[in-house]
Amino acid sequence: MGVFTAYFEAAMRHVVCERLPDGTWLAHIEPCPGVWATGPTPDAAVAEVREVLEEWVLLGLAAGDPLPAIEGHGLRVVAVPE
């Protein structure tokens, strides 16, 4: 299993879904600040939060931001010597 796959799978095991007062569903990943999405069903919210997670990881890596380790899996940019 690749490092990205392991990280995403670990993160997705931490998805929390809750029904909002308006009847929509909120999905968020507790170890990943700001990663949340809504949808009309729990499945739709979870599918959307996976896309948000992918964008969050790519933007974080591009910016050099530290990403949280999840279940022992971590991602970071390592400078390659020229």
pLDDT single digits (tens) 54-67: 999 999 998 988 89
Secondary structure (3-state) at 37: strand
- φ/ψ region of 20 (left if φ > 0, alpha if ψ in -120 to 50, else beta) reads beta
CATH number for position 27:
3.30.160.250
The whole domain housing 57 covers 3-63
* Global model pTM greater than 0.85: yes
pLDDT, one tens digit per residue, over 10-63 is 999 999 999 999 999 999 999 999 999 999 999 999 999 999 999 999 999 989
Say if 56 falls within a structural domain. yes
Q: How many domains does the chain have?
A: 1
